[in-house]
């Protein structure tokens, strides 16, 4: 089948690579020529383990092409996948800027040469499929374009495996012919890696995506609230999560307490879903309070510092990690950067390090590079050397392996804040360090 993937961001590029690996002819279309040139030249606009190899394979086998020419991309296409960004903003009631979705649909409608299935992959509010139908009716009434919801559930950093071998595939369509096309699209993948395939109506598929993200955000927020209680009563939140997780109805995954959820999905989606409830005048107390709960988790570092020291002015902190989670260079809604900004605003100096995300962090923190208060370091050792305190903000595996005796030697102060429960408190205390950890009594 010929598949066009509109948008070569995180979801788009992974979709291109994986669909090609299952034998489809895939065209990656983007309006950004520089980005396309970078990808075709063997580069990648972001860091995602395993993606480069899979793209190279598809390119060398001739299954993948990239273009900025919409006519070339869409001629003879059976399926067009919408993978464009849906950032916060915009004039609509759900608080998302859907202008890139609208522009992409117009492109598809204008350049499609025959019937095709238009697939919503971008995270969109429930009901978007109906709005896309309206657009198709405006721009391509008689072309036989149908709109399907086929949400992705990939995690950055594990996106390739999540897409090659997903827990499930969800396809929502309001007509049987579209379901048939989608079954053909996924047939080779289901043969290679069988998984549940749920065919639903379109609104149901849209809700499955939003509800899944909201539920995972709820699990994280729930354990973070429990962690705050553990700190007060002297319980161990990791053991609590283990104890809860053994109950098969609960499950251990996504019960890792920390500094809250960041990234391009959960923070935006929790706000977006709340807005959808409000727009429909339906009360949703759990979902409506998720952002508030996450704000509490995000403020753990500043709350802890408030207890540990009298003032932040004149202090230097090493912040380990800039990306919103390990194995990615994505810094969108990164809690690590939120902490850096909070420290700098409070007058502290920051020595920031990350294995891959410093270039993207620098772009976000551009305005903060003043008076030498923010220094970028190539390694954890460089960042920690001369610091009064160390803050573990992102749980990159190399930080978990740091030796507390070495750290004590490198630092001028003794303060250590483990926001991601990576370090053994007793070993740090034995090294003479003053140790604080999420979910643990100081």
Q: Is the CB of 153 or the CB of 277 nearer to ligand UGA?
A: 153
Please report whether residue 262 would count as binding ligand UGA according to CB under 6 A.
yes
Please report whether residue 155 would count as binding ligand UGA according to CB under 6 A.
yes
Q: Is the CB of 25 or the CB of 231 nearer to ligand UGA?
A: 231
Count of residues engaged in binding ligand UGA, rule: CB under 6 A: 20
Site for ligand UGA in 197-216 (CB under 6 A): 213, 216
Report d(CA 344, CA 313) in Å as an integer: 9
- Nearest residue to 258 (alpha-carbon basis) of 301, 224, 292, 234: 224
CB of 431 to ligand UGA, least distance (A): 27
Please report whether residue 325 would count as binding ligand UGA according to CB under 6 A.
yes
- Tell me the two tokens of residue 351: 């020595």
CB of 263 to ligand UGA, least distance (A): 4
Report d(CA 399, CA 353) in Å as an integer: 11
Site for ligand UGA in 115-144 (CB under 6 A): 123
Q: Are strands 316-320 and 349-353 parallel, antiparallel or unpaired?
A: parallel
Residue 275: φ, ψ to 5° = -65, -35
- Tell me the two tokens of residue 119: 């697939």
Please report whether residue 254 would count as binding ligand UGA according to CB under 6 A.
yes
Does residue 377 carry a catalytic annotation? no
Q: Using CB under 6 A, which of 25, 30, 120, 152 touches ligand UGA?
A: 152
In the beta sheet, which residues pair with residue 375?
351
| Contacting range for ligand UGA; rule: CB under 6 A; set: 20-28, 148-156, 276-284, 401-409 | 148-156
Q: Is 407 exposed, middle or buried (0-12, 13-18, 19+ CB in 10 A)?
A: buried
Residue 284: φ, ψ to 5° = -140, 75
- Nearest residue to 150 (alpha-carbon basis) of 3, 333, 251: 3
Q: Is the CB of 11 or the CB of 433 nearer to ligand UGA?
A: 11
Q: Is the CB of 74 or the CB of 81 nearer to ligand UGA?
A: 81
Q: Using CB under 6 A, which of 156, 354, 388, 418 touches ligand UGA?
A: 156
Please report whether residue 340 would count as binding ligand UGA according to CB under 6 A.
no
Q: Is the CB of 14 or the CB of 387 nearer to ligand UGA?
A: 14
Helices (H), 246-325: 266-279, 285-288, 290-298, 300-308
Beta strands in 64-196 (DSSP E): 64-67, 79-82, 116-120, 145-149, 169-172
Instruction: List residues with catalytic annotation.
Output: 265
**Residues engaged in binding ligand UGA (CB under 6 A):** 123, 152-156, 213, 216, 220, 254-256, 258, 261-263, 265-266, 324-325
């Amino acid at each position: 089948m010929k598949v066009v993937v509109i948008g070569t961001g995180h979801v788009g590029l992974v979709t291109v690579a994986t669909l090609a690996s299952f034998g489809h002819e895939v065209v990656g279309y983007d309006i950004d020529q520089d980005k396309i040139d970078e990808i075709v030249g063997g580069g990648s606009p972001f860091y995602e383990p395993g993606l480069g190899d899979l793209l190279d394979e598809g390119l060398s086998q001739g299954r993948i092409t990239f273009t900025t020419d919409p006519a070339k991309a869409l001629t003879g296409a059976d399926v067009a996948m919408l993978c464009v960004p849906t950032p916060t903003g915009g004039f609509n009631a759900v608080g998302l800027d859907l202008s890139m979705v609208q522009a992409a649909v117009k492109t598809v409608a204008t350049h499609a040469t025959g019937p095709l299935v238009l697939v919503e992959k971008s995270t969109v509010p429930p009901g978007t499929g109906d709005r896309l139908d309206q657009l198709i009716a405006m721009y391509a009434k008689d072309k036989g374009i149908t709109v399907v919801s086929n949400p992705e559930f990939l995690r950055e950093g594990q996106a390739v495996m999540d897409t090659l071998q997903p827990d499930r595939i969800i396809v929502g369509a309001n007509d049987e012919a579209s379901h048939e096309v989608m079954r053909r699209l996924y047939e080779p993948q289901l043969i290679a890696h069988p998984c549940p395939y749920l065919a639903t109506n379109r609104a149901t598929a849209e809700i499955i995506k939003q509800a899944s993200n909201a539920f995972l955000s709820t699990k994280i927020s729930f354990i973070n609230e429990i962690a705050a209680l553990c700190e007060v009563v002297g319980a161990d939140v990791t053991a609590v999560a283990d104890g809860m997780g053994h109950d098969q109805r609960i499950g251990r995954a996504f019960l890792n307490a920390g500094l809250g959820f960041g990234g391009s999905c959960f923070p935006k989606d929790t706000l977006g879903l709340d807005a959808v409830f409000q727009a429909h005048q339906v009360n949703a107390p759990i979902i409506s309070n998720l952002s508030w709960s996450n704000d509490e988790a995000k403020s753990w570092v500043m709350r802890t510092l408030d207890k540990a020291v009298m003032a932040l002015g004149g202090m230097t902190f090493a912040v380990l990690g800039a990306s919103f989670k390990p194995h990615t260079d994505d810094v969108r809604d990164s809690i690590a950067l939120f902490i850096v900004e909070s420290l700098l605003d409070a007058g502290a100096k920051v020595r920031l390090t990350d294995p891959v995300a410093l270039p993207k962090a620098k772009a976000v923190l551009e305005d903060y590079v003043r008076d030498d208060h923010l220094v970028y370091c190539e390694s954890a050792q460089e960042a920690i050397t001369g610091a009064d305190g160390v803050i573990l903000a992102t749980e990159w595996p190399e930080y978990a392996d740091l030796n507390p005796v070495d750290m004590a030697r490198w630092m001028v102060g003794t303060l250590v804040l483990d926001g991601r429960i990576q370090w053994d408190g007793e070993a740090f205390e034995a090294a003479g360090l003053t140790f604080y950890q999420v979910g643990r009594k100081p």
